[in-house]
Amino acid sequence: MRRGAGVPGVRVVLIGGTSNVGKSTVARAVAERLGFEYRSTDLLARHPGRPWRTPEREVPAHVAEHYASLTVDELITSVLAHYERLWPRIRTLIATHAAQDGAGTGLVLEGSALWPVRVAGLDVPHTGAVWLTADEAVLRARVHAGGRYEAATDEERTLMDRFLARTERYQSLMVAALDGLGLDRIDAGAGQTVPALVESVLATVAKQTAPGRR
C-alpha cells in the first residue's frame, strides 16, 4: 500500500496507553501500513521498566528496589513526574515531523508518556492521536504471562503485583482524563486482531484530521 494511504495530510500519529496494552505492536503495524517511522517515548529517557526476568536480561537492582520500596501512589507520582520532564522533547519531536509538510518520513509515536492533557494542548497540524485501553483482567493476564508469574518466586511476584497495580492506576487516571477532554480511545483488549486495530486507529485519525478539523 502506498505511503499515507487512507489518511491524506497526516504526518504524525500518536498512540498512547498504559503498559502492556499493545501500543508498540499496534504502532509498528500502523507505521508499516503508512510507510512512516516508528518510535517509542520509552527510548527517549530511562525510567524503571518491567520488573521481571526475561531470557535476555535480569531485573536490575535499582528497578527491583524501585517497585519494592514505593507504594502504588508513589509509583504513579514517580512515573508521571518522569513523563512531565520528558514532555518538552516529545513536543519538539512531534512538531518537527508535523512541520515537514510532505518532506521526509512521517512518524508514528507511541508511549505512556503521551499524557492526554499535554497532547490536547498541542497546536500542531497534520497530527492525530488515539489511546488504547484494555480491561484489567487482560492487562493482568499479559503481565503474568510476560513475567511467568506461576513459576516466579514470592519476591518476583510482589514486584509484578506492584507494577500491575501502577499499570491499572495509570489507566484509570488516563481514561478519566480522556473522557473529560473528549479524546478518542479504542478498546485493544476485546479480542480484536492487530489489523482490525490498525484500521480503527487510521479511521479515528482520519476523522480527527478531516478538512474543517485541526
- Which tens digit of pLDDT belongs to each residue from 60-115? 999 999 999 999 999 999 999 999 999 999 999 999 998 876 666 899 999 999 99
Residue 45 has what pLDDT? Answer: 84
The amino acid present at 103, given as its one-letter code, is: A
With H, G, I as helix, E, B as strand and everything else as coil, classify residue 31. helix
Residue 102 has what pLDDT? Answer: 60
Contact between 186 and 133 under an 8 Å Cβ cutoff? The reply is yes
Chain mean position to CA 196: 18
Residue 209 has what pLDDT? Answer: 81
**Residue 121's closest CA among 210, 26, 44, 14?**
14
Residue 88 has what pLDDT? Answer: 96
Contact between 214 and 208 under an 8 Å Cβ cutoff? The reply is yes
Residue 3 has what pLDDT? Answer: 44
Q: What are phi and psi of 186, to 5 degrees?
A: -130, 135
Residue 165 has what pLDDT? Answer: 96
Cα 167 to Cα 8, 42, 53, 98, distances in angstroms: 34, 15, 18, 30
Which regions of the chain are under pLDDT 70? 1-6, 101-104, 211-214
Q: Please state whether the predicted TM-score (pTM) of the whole model is above 0.85.
A: yes
With H, G, I as helix, E, B as strand and everything else as coil, classify residue 50. coil
- Residue 134: DSSP 8-state: -
Distance between CA atoms of 100 and 95, rounded to whole angstroms? 9
